[in-house]
């Protein structure tokens, strides 16, 4: 089944509130995540709200990466959408989650632009949850189904 794009919708919880408040730091993280995910950055804009919170976006040749933060809740809503097959959006997502020190992520991968026989398009959604142990510094922090950190 061929798809035009991959869209990752991420609910990140238990994040570092200092990072979620810092528009410059988030821009830095997102620019590096684009490199890690093999994406070509075209433009970026990050806005800090008063008293807290940031909304930011990278426009990449492959589509976009965005974030909206609620530091007081230690929560971030993240979007990574890429067209084609040259980018690696999942690596970009993993990089961002690591750098904002998320302890938990609910991820939905949406395969978009699946062409139907009648010249219409649909999508398919795969969803998973990850507990990310940032306290021990071992491995990637992801826990398997037995609760073991890898």
| Catalytic annotation, pick one of 44, 55, 68, 131 | 68
Q: Is 15 a catalytic residue?
A: no
Distance CA 28, CA 106 (A): 23
Q: Do the domain assignments include residue 67?
A: yes
Q: Is 123 a catalytic residue?
A: no
Are 93 and 66 within 8 A, CB to CB?
A: no
* b/e map 115-132, b = 16+ CB within 10 Å: eeeeeeeeeeeeeeebeb
**Mean local confidence (pLDDT), 51-56:** 95
For the segment 89-145, what is each residue's pLDDT rounded down to a tens digit? 999 999 999 999 999 999 999 999 888 989 899 999 999 888 887 654 433 444 444
**Mean local confidence (pLDDT), 23-51:** 97
Q: Do the domain assignments include residue 20?
A: yes
- Residue 27 confidence (pLDDT) above 90: yes
Q: What is the tally of structural domains in the chain?
A: 1
What is the per-residue pLDDT for 85? 86
Domain range holding 28?
Answer: 5-114
- Phi/psi region, residue 32 (left: phi>0; alpha: psi -120 to 50; beta: rest), is alpha
Q: What CATH number is given to the structural domain containing 67? A: 3.60.90.10
| Catalytic annotation, pick one of 44, 55, 64, 83 | 83
Average pLDDT value over all residues in the chain: 89
| Catalytic annotation, pick one of 63, 106, 108, 123 | 63
Q: What is the largest CA-CA distance in the chain?
A: 52
Q: Do the domain assignments include residue 35?
A: yes
């Amino acid at each position: 089944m061929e798809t035009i794009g991959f869209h990752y919708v991420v609910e990140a919880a238990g994040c570092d509130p200092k990072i979620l408040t810092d528009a410059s730091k988030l821009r830095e993280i997102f620019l590096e995540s684009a490199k890690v995910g093999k994406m070509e950055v075209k433009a970026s804009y990050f806005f800090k709200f008063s008293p807290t919170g940031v909304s930011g976006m990278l426009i990449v040749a492959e589509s976009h990466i965005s974030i909206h933060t609620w530091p007081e809740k230690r929560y971030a809503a993240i979007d990574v959408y890429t067209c084609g097959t040259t980018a690696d959006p999942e690596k970009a997502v993993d990089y961002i989650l690591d750098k904002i020190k998320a302890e938990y992520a609910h991820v939905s991968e949406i395969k978009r632009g699946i062409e139907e026989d009648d010249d219409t398009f649909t999508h398919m959604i795969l969803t998973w949850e990850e507990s990310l142990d940032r306290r021990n510094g071992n491995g990637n922090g992801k826990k398997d189904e037995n609760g073991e950190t890898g």
